[in-house]
Amino acid sequence: MAVFITAVGGIISWPFLQFVVTFLTVFGFVLTSATILVLAERKILAWMQDREGPLHTGPWGLLQSVADVGKLLLKEDIRVKEADKMMFLLSPSVFMAPVIAAFAVLPFSPYLQLPGGALSTGLIFLVAMSSIDVIGVIMAGWGSNNKYSLIGGLRSAAQMISYELPLVLAFVGVIMLTSILAGLPGFPHQDTPGVGTISPYEIMLFQNAAWHNTGIPVLDFIFQGFTPWSWFFLFQPLMLIIYYTCGLAETNRAPFDLPEAESELVAGYMTEYSGMRWAMFFLGEYGNMTIASAVASYLFLGGFAGPGVGWLTSQGSLLWGFVGNILALLYFVFKIYALCGVFIWIRATLPRLRADQLMQFAWLILMPVTLGNILVTGLLYFLTASLPTWVFLTVLAAVNWASLFGFIWLVGRVTTSTTRRAQAPAIRAQLRAKSATPTPALRDGVPTRVALPAGAGSHE
């Protein structure tokens, strides 16, 4: 009887309720986010291309995504006869599962997180989850028993593995900043100065700890737990751009959508999938967009912090705490969708890269730049160690912003040179063909009559 009472008490306890609410929120957000983003993508692309977009399904076309979901649910699930059955059936789940699991270390608000606090190795967990996607893609390509699917899966695996390395190195600059700020007045890790963190939640706290209560109610309400002047994108903008670029490649979004290049590979590793299995890959792609945007929000844009959240949740009131958590949820979701909007913007702007450009960009540009950022950050801290910390942060921000503009210039030069090099054989062939074709003589801008050889105009 005592065991039963203990079990019931555990089930109806506050931590268990927190777990249930958090799980339902995460699961519902991931499932509905794809539907919202599909509609947003169609509307934004239509706006950028000067057309209307969905109009006829519901008011302003708002029910178009709902109709698409119904269509996918009713579509026949076709299975390839000669496919590897186990791999073919499991690959969509393997691709989709890490999307939901990744939110385990990305709280939506102070309350909407797993009980027990933030996972101290959260960034390692996120990197491990992103690596599982590669396995699902390879399983789909191999299990389909289709050469186009296999080639698409291998291309996707090579791309995701290549861009995962600079993505992880982009984290290092942020971790170095937390190590430098740890132990300073008002910042976390007062008992372990100089020791940073790899927990996304604690990284968010480092970005919003630069406010000391002033006694002015309005200012304390706005800026308690919300200090956007200390967000890490101000000090490491280049790493934000590189992380976001790697996020594009990891999610196989344009201009890095070579694995599903329709003109070359007939939709890549998803060739043989239909119905809900195809929908799970589709859902996973948009889910990975939200994961990449959520991680960028936590590492560079202050996470769910916003005006009023810290003050309301610190009052010890159930009502004000609820309002503060709703505000935090709204701020976090807004940041995610704003960054997802950049995904869509890039798709409407940039053409697809060639395979050689894609691999060159990862290994010859992003890798040296991220390694150089780590070296420069450490060198600047060494040179300014005897000065106040704000001097180091100011110098680091100036150098990083200058490096960002230099990086943009470098990418433009490299893109132009590689494009010209790739087009050179075709241009030379066109010039040779033009030189071999006789050009009619001109008289006052009008071609003159050319005499034909004898017998050329006779007909047998």
Confidence check: pLDDT of 116 > 80: no
Looking at residue 401, its pLDDT comes to 96
209-218 mean pLDDT: 87
Q: How confident is the model over 317-337, as pLDDT tens digits? A: 889 999 999 999 999 999 999
Q: What is the pLDDT of residues 25-78, one digit of tens each?
A: 888 898 888 889 989 999 999 999 888 888 888 888 888 888 888 888 888 888
Q: Which residues contact 26 (CB under 8 A, 6 or more apart)?
A: 100, 103, 104, 108
pLDDT per residue as tens digits for the range 170-204:
999 999 999 999 988 888 888 888 888 999 999 99
Least confident of 170-174, 307-311, 350-354: 350-354
Interatomic CA distance for residues 380 and 220, integer angstroms: 33
Look at residues 77, 79, 75, 97 and name the one whose alpha carbon lies nearest to residue 146.
79
Burial of 430 (0-12, 13-18, 19+ CB in 10 A): exposed
Give pTM, 2 decimals. 0.87
Give per-residue pLDDT as tens, 358-383.
Answer: 888 999 999 999 999 999 999 999 99
Confidence check: pLDDT of 449 > 50? yes
Candidate from 10-19, 104-113, 232-241 with smallest mean pLDDT: 10-19
pLDDT at 267 exceeding the cut of 80: no
In percent, how much of the chain has pLDDT > 70?
Answer: 89
Asked if residue 291 has pLDDT above 70, the reply is: yes
What's the pLDDT score for residue 175?
Answer: 93
- State the pLDDT at residue 374: 95
Residue 4 has pLDDT above 50, yes or no: no
Give yes or no for a cis peptide into 193 (omega within 30° of 0). no
| Cα-based distances in Å from 328 to 14, 15, 58, 211, 453 | 20, 20, 31, 18, 85
Q: Domain locations in the chain? A: 10-423
Give tens-digit pLDDT for 223-249: 999 999 999 999 999 999 999 999 998
Q: 69 CB contacts (<8 Å, ≥6 apart)?
A: 35, 279
pLDDT score recorded for residue 448: 56
Mean pLDDT of the residues in the chain: 85
pLDDT number for residue 450: 54
> CA-to-CA distance for 296 and 7, rounded, in angstroms?
39
**How large is the average pLDDT for residues 248-265?**
77
Question: CA separation (Å) from 427 to 133, 328, 355, 420?
Answer: 40, 56, 20, 9
